[in-house]
């Protein structure tokens, strides 16, 4: 178990993200001086680190210790695809959906009736 204060852990995550981006810049990414052209995955890295810092496991303030431990265990048990969706879920536009898509399936009602 990690025995560092939460503030240090949060700072270490941010520093590691900055170090990765700085190392990419030093490699001579072929971009003109004053600009940093990054691949899409590196652009998303900082977004995922920020999302990770906002989870209950790393959020500061008054989070109950059992909720923090549960969130840490949940994060550790997820695979990459699950973690990606947990940190940054898909957003579906509902303003332009057709009525056929918005109607619930009859199988949903059947499942509810069977369970009762």
What is the distance between the alpha carbons of residues 63 and 66, in angstroms, rounded to a whole number? 8
Q: What is the dihedral of CA 21, 25, 27, 30, to 10 degrees?
A: 130
What is the distance between the alpha carbons of residues 21 and 36, in angstroms, rounded to a whole number? 10
Indicate the domain borders of the chain: 6-91
pLDDT of res. 105:
61
Residue linked to tokens 């369970």: 115
pLDDT digits (tens, 9 = 90+) for 67-107: 999 999 999 999 999 999 999 887 777 777 777 666 666 65
pLDDT of res. 112:
45
Q: Are 45 and 17 in contact (CB under 8 A)?
A: yes
pLDDT digits (tens, 9 = 90+) for 23-62: 888 886 666 767 777 888 888 999 999 999 999 999 888 8
Residue linked to tokens 């810092």: 53
pLDDT of res. 61:
84
CATH superfamily of domain region 6-91: Sec23/Sec24 helical domain (1.20.120.730)
């Amino acid at each position: 178990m990690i025995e560092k204060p939460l503030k240090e852990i949060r700072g270490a995550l941010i520093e590691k993200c900055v170090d990765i981006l700085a190392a990419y810049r030093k490699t001579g990414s072929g971009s003109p001086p004053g600009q940093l052209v990054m691949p899409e995955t590196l652009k998303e890295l900082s977004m995922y680190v920020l999302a990770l810092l906002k989870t209950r496991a790393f959020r500061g303030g008054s989070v109950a210790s059992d909720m923090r431990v549960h969130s840490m265990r949940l994060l550790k048990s997820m695979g990459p695809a699950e973690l990606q969706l947990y940190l940054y879920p898909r957003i579906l536009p509902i303003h332009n959906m057709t009525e056929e898509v918005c109607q619930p399936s009859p199988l949903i009602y059947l499942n509810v009736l069977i369970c009762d």
